[in-house]
């Protein structure tokens, strides 16, 4: 695969889409990472999703200095709607998603656009991800996707193999891939009903349509994800609720009976985890409903027994005691149903 050592203003236009909601204190870092790219033929569309902080003022400073950056305001509609608006306004041959609290390394656009230029059969190219704390950019975690599981973040191909993996876990964070714009048009909008995991749903739909995923690594091409308390991925109840809705969508849209069976198994795993979260957040009745649903529906006898146990004791023990019971009985057996975020 060819690469260029110097900055280039040639090559296809890349559209970088940055949704932002009250992240005025982070968005400058995201834009700096775009400005630092060795590939220069890009446009950056910042969609302000009704922010009430200084997002507009921060982006305006960048917009005034670089005509490739465009600020768009919409009333608050959520992350999915912001990305969808950015896609509709984009002009590039390729699309890079970049959340306002995240960043990309300097050679990402150059390297990944070359991959797509050199291999017309590849639709989505993605690389590794590193996580960093708000104040410690230099101490980024080096494990891909936070866990270092090479099976879950270095897969390439299309068809049922990719789809099977995506049904189990997300392959990548949203800023890891570069995708062809015609793929985005074919797949359609991000779905706001699966809040927090819209990208996971999006990649599943890409795989279901037969698009080819390719993992490629090169130095200075990582997606960089900021870990901070306000991130939606920190809200386990939200993530699990969305995962349960996503699994319902999968059951209705996937034709393979084998993949439907796999997804149903993971659906009850997710219900068990969500039940625990609901109880711990004070919604005991709702939590019991999810736990008993998992107990009645799962084909795993161990999961059925453990969920039934947790559901039965939930009204009668303290939250701390319930947490201990849940950790000892359910936690590890159904962890695979948690989404990558």
CATH number at residue 29: 3.90.550.10
What is the domain extent for residue 251?
Answer: 236-337
Is the same domain home to 165 and 308?
Answer: no
pLDDT digits 0-9 by tens, 193-243: 999 999 999 999 999 999 999 999 999 999 999 987 777 667 889 999 999
Give the pLDDT of residue 8: 53
**Distance of alpha carbon 200 from alpha carbon 103, whole angstroms:** 19
Longest Cα–Cα distance of the chain, Å, equals 67
Boundary of a domain, candidates 175, 201, 233: 233
* Residue 178 contacts residue 113 (beta carbons within 8 Å): yes
Give the pLDDT of residue 12: 97
Give the dihedral of Cα atoms 85, 27, 111, 152; nearest 10 deg. -80
Summarize the confidence of residues 75-79 as an average pLDDT.
Answer: 96
pLDDT digits 0-9 by tens, 180-189: 999 998 999 9
Is the same domain home to 93 and 226?
Answer: yes
Summarize the confidence of residues 173-177 as an average pLDDT.
Answer: 95
Is the same domain home to 202 and 154?
Answer: yes
Would 3 be classed as within a structural domain? no
Neighbour count for residue 121 (Cβ, 10 Å)? 7
Would 5 be classed as within a structural domain? no
Is the same domain home to 208 and 246?
Answer: no
Boundary of a domain, candidates 178, 200, 233: 233
User: Percentage of the chain surpassing pLDDT 90?
Assistant: 75
**Distance of alpha carbon 38 from alpha carbon 6, whole angstroms:** 7
pLDDT digits 0-9 by tens, 88-128: 999 999 999 999 999 999 999 999 999 999 999 999 999 99
Give the pLDDT of residue 183: 96
Would 100 be classed as within a structural domain? yes
Query: At 138, is the pLDDT very low, low, confident or very high (cuts 50, 70, 90)?
Result: low
Boundary of a domain, candidates 194, 212, 233: 233
Would 122 be classed as within a structural domain? yes
Summarize the confidence of residues 141-161 as an average pLDDT.
Answer: 61
Q: What is the mean pLDDT of the chain?
A: 88
Summarize the confidence of residues 278-297 as an average pLDDT.
Answer: 94
Give the pLDDT of residue 230: 73
Give the pLDDT of residue 109: 98
Query: At 337, is the pLDDT very low, low, confident or very high (cuts 50, 70, 90)?
Result: very low
Query: At 150, is the pLDDT very low, low, confident or very high (cuts 50, 70, 90)?
Result: very low
H-only helix segments in the chain: 24-35, 55-65, 79-89, 108-118, 150-153, 160-168, 181-187, 198-208, 236-253, 257-280, 284-297, 301-313, 319-326
Query: At 140, is the pLDDT very low, low, confident or very high (cuts 50, 70, 90)?
Result: low
pLDDT digits 0-9 by tens, 311-336: 999 999 999 999 889 887 765 444 44
HSE of 29, CA atoms in CB hemisphere, 13 A = 18
Give the pLDDT of residue 141: 54
Query: At 10, is the pLDDT very low, low, confident or very high (cuts 50, 70, 90)?
Result: confident
Is the same domain home to 136 and 222?
Answer: yes
Give the pLDDT of residue 78: 95
Is the same domain home to 210 and 256?
Answer: no
Is the same domain home to 176 and 261?
Answer: no
The pTM of this model reads 0.87
Is the same domain home to 207 and 262?
Answer: no
The total number of structural domains that make up the chain:
2
Give the pLDDT of residue 135: 60
Would 1 be classed as within a structural domain? no
Is the same domain home to 212 and 128?
Answer: yes
Give the pLDDT of residue 253: 82
| R_g (Cα) of the chain, nearest Å | 21
Query: At 71, is the pLDDT very low, low, confident or very high (cuts 50, 70, 90)?
Result: very high
Would 9 be classed as within a structural domain? no
Would 113 be classed as within a structural domain? yes
Is the same domain home to 82 and 136?
Answer: yes
Give the pLDDT of residue 279: 95
Would 227 be classed as within a structural domain? yes
Is the same domain home to 210 and 297?
Answer: no
Is the same domain home to 164 and 229?
Answer: yes
């Amino acid at each position: 695969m060819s690469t260029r050592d110097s900055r280039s203003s040639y090559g296809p236009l890349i559209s970088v889409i940055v949704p932002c909601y009250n992240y005025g204190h982070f968005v400058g870092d995201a834009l700096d990472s775009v400005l630092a790219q060795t590939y220069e033929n890009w446009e950056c569309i910042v969609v302000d999703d009704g922010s009430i902080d200084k997002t507009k003022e921060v982006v305006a400073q960048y917009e005034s200095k670089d005509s490739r950056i465009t600020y768009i305001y919409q009333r608050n509609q959520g992350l999915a709607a912001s990305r969808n608006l950015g896609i509709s306004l984009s002009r590039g041959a390729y699309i890079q998603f970049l959340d306002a609290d995240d960043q990309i390394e300097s050679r990402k656009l150059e390297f990944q656009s070359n991959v797509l230029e050199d291999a017309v059969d590849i639709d989505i190219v993605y690389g590794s991800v590193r996580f960093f704390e708000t104040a410690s950019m230099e101490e980024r975690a080096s494990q891909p996707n936070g866990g270092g599981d090479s099976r879950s973040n270095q897969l390439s191909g299309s068809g049922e193999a990719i789809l099977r993996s995506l049904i189990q876990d997300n392959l990548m964070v949203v800023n890891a891939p570069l995708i062809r714009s015609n793929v985005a048009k074919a797949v359609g909008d991000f779905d706001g009903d699966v809040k927090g995991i819209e990208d996971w749903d999006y990649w599943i739909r890409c795989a279901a349509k037969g698009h080819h995923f390719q993992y490629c690594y090169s130095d200075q091409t990582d997606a960089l994800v900021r870990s901070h308390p306000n991130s939606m991925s920190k809200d386990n109840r939200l993530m699990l609720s969305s995962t349960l809705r996503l699994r319902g969508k999968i059951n209705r849209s996937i034709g393979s009976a084998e993949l439907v069976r796999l997804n149903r198994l993971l659906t009850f795993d997710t219900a068990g985890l969500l039940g625990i979260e609901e109880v711990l957040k004070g919604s005991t009745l709702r939590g019991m409903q999810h736990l008993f649903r998992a107990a009645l529906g799962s084909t795993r006898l161990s999961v059925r027994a453990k969920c039934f146990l947790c559901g039965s004791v939930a009204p009668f023990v303290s939250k701390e005691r319930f947490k201990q019971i849940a950790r000892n009985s359910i936690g590890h057996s159904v962890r695979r149903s948690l989404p990558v975020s």
